[in-house]
Structure 1
Amino acid sequence: MEAVQSADGTPLAVDRSGSGPALVIVVGAFCDRASFASLAAVLASDFTVHTYDRRGRGDSGDAAAGVVEKAVEREVEDLAAVIAAAGGSAVVVGHSSGAALALQGAARGLPITRLVAYEPPYSADPADADPTFAPRIAELLAADRPGDAAALFLGGGSELPPEVLAQMQSGPGWPHMLQLAPTLLFDLAVVGDEGVPERLGAIAVPTRWCSRVARGGPGSRPPQPWWPRGSRARAIGYCPGRPTRSTTRPSPPRCAPSRGAEAAHDRQVWGRGRTWQSRNVPDVRWAGVPPRIRAVVLAAAAVFAYGTVVHVVDIVTRGIDAYPAAPVWLATYFLSLTVFDAAAAILLLLRRRSGLLLGCAVLVTGALANALATYLLGIGGTPERVGQAVITVLAVALLVVAPRIWPWLEPGPGRR
């Protein structure tokens, strides 16, 4: 266990495991960092996983008096502190109210590179929410009745059937739920009125929103996330659950954390390492990437592959001195493109940001080098000038689309 200090001085208990890019798990109601130990173990083969106790839970510091009124701000600061300790940026996987917290953090500009929001408890119609729900929970906790508060919370504001409540109370997890019941006030504060906050319209990172199907037949999809109008957020995929008629004993969704499917989510999103196999979640490197982004990246890779072929043909037909009219340094540069073009094509096909950077560098320097050779040194004629113009157009086009492609590419193994 490591201790991380939040902005207001609250100590946060963090478990770190695995190696690779940083990934932070944000837990939901009735959960602490131990609740997701099995998921962390699955992800640790590909990520450096950081699971922390949200304030007031486990080994983290207790919430100070009156802090519930600023729960969102304090908890976002907590998440920011954990991300900073993880290396400055991280993939974030949030569950339930933890997903709502992660979405709030992304909207506030925390350095989140990818976001998996599993079951954020938002409603398509916040008018259906019970405005007395949170005050009733607070009243029960103030009366030192954590069991009743927990039961009311689990029933969504309604009484649980006696047999369901009895079954839960006799289970091994009930004492732990009673211990964490006071933190329900934080969960409720983070979720708010159950409507999607307008602030989420500021989210700009690739986001996978995983939600249980609330209605419809088998195989139906949940509605698109209710992003605020004008949002720049990109919901790049879903993992719908089985439809259920009961609100007290819902069927487990196919992407339940206990089944390790968040591992499938994030590896499906950014295609890294061994993927947890499921007939519901295919192992596809480019899964979740919009078709237009795939098309642009594949087109760029094709351009560099073509450039590689051209340089290889030049070397094969003309020998190592394939550019005799050019100065030695310029001829060496043209020869080096045989390697750099191929590297850019391969890295782009692997969804690496380094491929995009290398590709931009190759096209820009290629346009300049060909302009120098054609116009200043007088090497070649009309075909070479046309070729230089084409390379210039390609360079400008790649530079223009690069900011749109960048978020969908990966920094590379072991980097944060």
Structure 2
Amino acid sequence: MSVMESADGTRISFHTAGHGRTVVIVNGALSTSADAAPLAGALADAGFRAVTWDRRGRADSGDRTGSTPEDEADDLAAVIHAAGGADAVLGHSSGAVLALYAASRGVATGALFLSEPPIDFDGDGFGEELADRLQELVDAGEREEAIGSFQRDAIGLPAEMVEDARAGGQLAALAPLAQSAVYDARLTLRLRRPDASRLKIRTPVTVLCGEQTFPFLIGASHRLAEGIPGAELIIVPESIMHRPDPAATARVVAQRI
């Protein structure tokens, strides 16, 4: 593990695997760099240097009260700088949203690979009130409830599934990541109904989507690929229900950079 500081002084931890052109992986919600290890390993096996990192408020990274999507974009820029530059950034779920947002702010991401980004093009999903409510729960020490609320109201999981996760201890296991759920909610809101300036990305863009995944993500992936000039949509059959298959995803990256 290596550690560096972001623009606001927040400690950010990162890991590297393999040798070759550098691919920085950006995790989705409620996950840490450890969850990206299989994908990093597949990229390393394909001849890349893979960089995984803990987004702020997660695992070995620090945090700062009042962190914003701009801070997270700065974090990605700092990781890329610490890695000596990036040939590509591979983001999954809200990590894809962060990668796109950072690129729109001028972060030197290299080629973008955006896996099932949950972009609310129609503005039909949650609003700012959810992010505020999640923060209130975190501030009150109700971190498990914040996780459950995020899963129900942001991700859209059925209430019965969330309650089963509570009974099985999964919500308690995810409770340390509750503050990061607030950040993911605010980040997703930042790219709600993205305007043309957010979609004019001056770097190659590949959007990845599984065949069997949530309908909202299928629609968002298609619309994003259609909205970014020159973007390519790749269907990855091996990726099922919002879980990117490591080997298949690495293969897509290897074919395009």
- Verify same fold: TM over 0.5: yes
Confirm whether residue 65 of structure 1 aligns to residue 65 of structure 2: yes
Write 1 or 2 for the structure with the bigger share of strand: 2
- 3-state SS of paired residue (2:118): coil
Equivalent residue number for residue 55 of structure 1: 56
Confirm whether residue 130 of structure 1 aligns to residue 126 of structure 2: yes
Equivalent residue number for residue 385 of structure 1: none
Q: Which protein has the larger Cα radius of gyration, Structure 1 or Structure 2? A: 1
Q: CA deviation at 1:170?
A: 4.5
Structure 1: any 5+ residue segments left out of the alignment? Answer: 243-250, 271-416
Equivalent residue number for residue 83 of structure 1: 80
Across the aligned residues of Structure 1 and Structure 2, the Cα RMSD in angstroms comes to 2.8
For the Cα contact (< 8 Å) 2:225–2:232, is it kept in 1?
no
Q: CA deviation at 1:119?
A: 1.7
Equivalent residue number for residue 266 of structure 1: 253
Q: Distance in 2 between matches of 1:12 and 1:130?
A: 29
Q: Distance in 2 between matches of 1:191 and 1:97?
A: 7
- C-alpha distance after superposition, 1:100-158 (max 9, x if no partner): 110011112222221111121112311x1232322222222222211121111111257
Aligned-pair identity (%): 33
Equivalent residue number for residue 41 of structure 1: 41
- With normalisation by structure 2, the TM-score equals 0.85
2:101 to 101, 104, 110: 104
- 3-state SS of paired residue (1:223): helix
1:209 to 207, 210, 223: 207
Confirm whether residue 235 of structure 1 aligns to residue 231 of structure 2: yes
Equivalent residue number for residue 200 of structure 1: 198
> Higher relative CO (CA 8 A, sep ≥ 6), structure 1 or 2?
2
- C-alpha distance after superposition, 1:69-102 (max 9, x if no partner): xx12111111111111111233101111111110
Q: Distance in 2 between matches of 1:130 and 1:121?
A: 12
Q: 1:130 to 1:56 in 2, by over 3 A?
A: closer
- 3-state SS of paired residue (2:132): helix
User: Amino acid of the residue matched to residue 57 of structure 2?
Assistant: G
For the Cα contact (< 8 Å) 1:222–1:240, is it kept in 2?
no
Q: 1:44 to 1:259 in 2, by over 3 A?
A: closer
For the Cα contact (< 8 Å) 1:93–1:262, is it kept in 2?
no
Confirm whether residue 189 of structure 1 aligns to residue 176 of structure 2: no
Q: Distance in 2 between matches of 1:112 and 1:98?
A: 13
Equivalent residue number for residue 24 of structure 1: 24
Confirm whether residue 93 of structure 1 aligns to residue 80 of structure 2: no
1:116 to 108, 113, 117: 113
Number of matched residues?
Answer: 249
- With normalisation by structure 1, the TM-score equals 0.54
- C-alpha distance after superposition, 1:233-267 (max 9, x if no partner): 4311232679xxxxxxxx933x7225543213312
Q: 1:48 to 1:259 in 2, by over 3 A?
A: closer
- 3-state SS of paired residue (2:25): strand
